[in-house]
Structure 1
Amino acid sequence: MLYETPRLEPVDRRVLDQVDVMRDQLRYAVQQAPMKWTLDLRKALTASAIAASNTIEGYRVDARDVADLMDGEREVEASDENKAETLAYQQAMTYIQSLHDVTDFRYNKELLNSLHWMLQGHHHPLRAAGRWRRTAIRITAPGDEFATDYEGPDQELVPGLMGELVEWLNEGDLDAHFLIRAAMAHLNLVKIHPWSDGNGRMSRSLQTLLIARGGVLAPEFSSIEEWLGMPGNTWEYYKVLREVGGPVYSPERDTLPWARFNLLAYHQQAQRVRRRVDRSNECWTRLTEAAGALGVSERQVTALHEVAMVGRVRRSRYEKAEALNTQQATRDLQALTKAEVLTAVGQTKARHYVAGPRYPQDVLEAARRRHVIVDPYSDVP
């Protein structure tokens, strides 16, 4: 038996309708935007999702360093362990993103175990990967290793429960909104806890896959992992999982609070992404308009846009973004540095570039413009 999809109340349907509207608007905005900065934004969103999901599990790598790792840069400020976790998650996320438009797609146990191997295979055989756990599972309470927060179902029950979950993923509650189905897939997988490790990231990855399969937006715009990784939200995430899931596997419990928590996440993450799209678009337009006066080429605008949006650019990132060779990318960045549009920071391998004295201040102001994220449930009586 699985945790059941709840019946939404009118207020939840109102929030869900608002999310649908924002996602449609976001899709239109992205389709109308310049391809170059759209690709940059998609990479940045993926990096943020990876960084946030790993942070939830205690692996901390700055989103900018995650983006550099994704582009093959290895001289970043992160331990070897954190780099390994980041690259593993990138591999799984890249595969998930590639599945969004597969026409004959089906969920199965092999897919889930393969995704788990991508995430955890570098720990095998010390921590078994790509196969169901063969022991009991106990989750400790935060801050107290002797207190049990949750006990998963007995290991003998895992194959049957996972078979039930796979069947539901393919055929269950197909009349429900795909965002709600994605949330329920997350809840059921994390509560079955079928692997010895990596269950949280796998559950969040599965949710992202279902959202991506919804087909409204490119997968990079679909994840709520960045939102979940924010400190206050992470605490609430664990809290609602405890309240809804129970201390042991309890599929008879009310799951509406979990659906409502996810609707809040969808809504607020959509707000955040839309603000980022607006800022990116404005920065790109302003940089393009200023290019002539600055003596900046069309391709160099890509480097300046990266600085506006994430605060820095590396040669390797710029090189890949513009399909240049190393010499071309180096010359371009050196020219921007000589013109004082950029300033070089650090030595050879770890060098990156930030805004220089002649970098357009109006672009930086647009990139840093404050915004307010609203709670769609705040006006509920």
Structure 2
Amino acid sequence: MLYETPLLSAADHHVLAEVVEMRRALQHAVQQAPAKWTLDLRRHLTASAIAGSNTIEGYEVDARDVADLMDDAQEKVDVTEANRAETVAYQQAMTYIQSLHGVPDFEYSKGLLNALHWMLQGHHHPRKPAGQWRQGPIFITAAGDPHATEYEGPHEDEVARLMGELVDWLNTGDTDSDPLVRAAMAHFNLVKIHPWADGNGRMSRSLQTLLIAREGVLAPEFSSIEAWLGMPGHTWDYYKVLREVGGPVYSPKRDTSPWIRFNLRAYHEQTQRVQHRVDRSNQCWIQLDEQRDELGVSERQVTALHEVAMIGRVRRSRYEKAEGISEQQAQRDMQHLMRGDLLTPVGNTKGRFYVPGDRYPQNVLATAAARHTIRDPYGDAA
């Protein structure tokens, strides 16, 4: 038996309707935006999701470093080998998940879930078996007390049956529920079954993202809540609601309404953040394009300046790939921007990146740094 999808309250329906409307508006804004910065935005959001999810598990990698590793796993980035391995593995899984959004004959299966788990955890195998159900009990210990059990998963002999039930539900269950609600319930059921020896949290968040990708309204990087969950206060709330809703042992008859409420808040607030970023990114692009002649830069070079505004830095290798140009062309462009005091190099040749120079337009930096307020959707819906 699985944890069941709850009936939504009037407040839940109100928040969900707002999320749906915001996502439609965001879809329109993305479709109208220049393709170059849309790709940059999708890359940054994916990097933020990977960084956020890894942070929950104790792997700390700045989203900008994640983005560089996404371009080249061997990029000269100042991270530990453990953090590099976790980041590259998660990026591989996320890339595959994002590619599944339009597959016509797609279906969920135990094999698919185990394969995704291998992508995420295979570098730990065989010390921590990957791509196969656990063969023993699983306990979640309380923070700060390794002898206190916070949650005990179902017996290992029940895992295969429960995963079969979950796969059937993923393919045919609750299809009249909103896709975002189904995605949240998929996350919850998988993390409570806890079918693998390790990596269950990351897999559960990845499965939620996969269901969002299959929905097809927006690219999953615009709707994933992993970056939101990775924020310190939200991570604490995440663990708290998992504990309170799931119970100390596998208890599928418990009310899951608080979990859905938590996720609807996360969807809403993350969509607000993405919309604010889209607005800032669009405005920065417009401002840079309007000042091209004054700055003495080409349309192509605006891409590098735009990334500096939105990310805080740009690497020559990243710019080269974004524009589809040769290494020599990219080097010449960087030199031109340096000579114009628009960019300043930091670091040695292999690890070098560029930050704003003395002549970088201050109005663009101000737009990129503009603050915003995130509202609690349930404050309005109460």
Report the TM-score range of the alignment, normalised by the length of the smaller protein: over 0.9
Gaps of 5+ in 1: none
CA distance, structure 2, for counterparts of residue 291 and residue 151 of structure 1: 60
CA distance in 1, matches of 2:144, 2:203: 23
Contact 2:92 2:119 in 1 (8 A): yes
Task: Tell me by how many angstroms 1:380 deviates.
Answer: 4.7
Structure 1 counterpart of 2:165: 164
| Partner SS, residue 354 of structure 1 | strand
Amino acid at match of 1:174: T
1:189-208 maps to which residues of 2 (within 5 A)? 189-208=190-209
1:50 paired residue number: 50
Provide the residue aligned with 1:13 in structure 2. 13
What amino acid maps onto 1:355 in structure 2? P
**2:342 equivalent to 1:341:** yes
Instruction: Check conservation: 2:186, 2:204, Cα contact below 8 A.
Output: yes
Cα displacement string for residues 182-220 of structure 1 (whole angstroms, at most 9, x for unaligned residues): 000000000000000000000000000001111110122
User: 2:153 maps to which residue?
Assistant: 152
In 2, Cα distance between equivalents of 1:204 and 1:8: 22
Does residue 62 (structure 1) correspond to residue 47 (structure 2)? The answer is no
Amino acid in the other structure paired with 2:238: Y
* Separation (CA, whole Å) in 2 of partners of 1:103 and 1:369: 42
Q: Return the alpha-carbon distance in structure 1 between the equivalents of residues 16 and 230 of structure 2.
A: 22
Find the counterpart in structure 1 of residue 89 from structure 2.
Answer: 88
Structure 2 equivalent of residue 104 of structure 1: 105
Root-mean-square deviation over aligned CA pairs: 0.7
Give the SS at the match of 1:281. helix
Task: Find the counterpart in structure 1 of residue 280 from structure 2.
Answer: 279
> Distance in 2 between the 1:213 and 1:346 partners?
42
Deviations 1:22-73 (A, max 9, x none): 0000000000000000000000000000000000000111000000001115
Distance 1:292 1:150 in 2: 62
| TM-score under structure 1 length normalisation | 0.99
1:154 is aligned with what amino acid? H
Helix, strand or coil: the match of 1:11?
helix
The DSSP-based 3-state class of the residue aligned with 2:279 is: helix
- Partners of 2:119 and 2:159 lie apart in 1 by 20
Q: CA deviation at 1:74?
A: 2.1
- Give me the whole-angstrom Cα distance separating, in 1, the residues matched to 2:170 and 2:143: 31
Mapped to 2, the partners of 1:293 and 1:379 lie a distance apart of: 46
Residues 99-137 of structure 1, C-alpha deviation per residue, up to 9 Å, x if partnerless?
Answer: 011111100000000000000001111110000000100
| Partner-residue secondary structure (3-state), 1:374 | coil
Q: Is the 8 A contact 2:128 2:198 kept in 1?
A: yes
Secondary structure class of the residue paired with 1:299: helix
CA distance in 2, matches of 1:316, 1:242: 44
Query: Structure 2: how far apart are the matches of 1:109 and 1:301?
Result: 46
Q: Is the 8 A contact 2:52 2:231 kept in 1?
A: yes
- Residue 239 of structure 2: aligned partner: 238
Alpha-carbon distance between aligned partners in 2 of 1:69 and 1:346, rounded to the nearest angstrom: 17
TM-score, normalising length from structure 2? 0.99
Distance 1:28 1:219 in 2: 15
Aligned to 2:182: 181
SS of residue paired to 2:117: helix
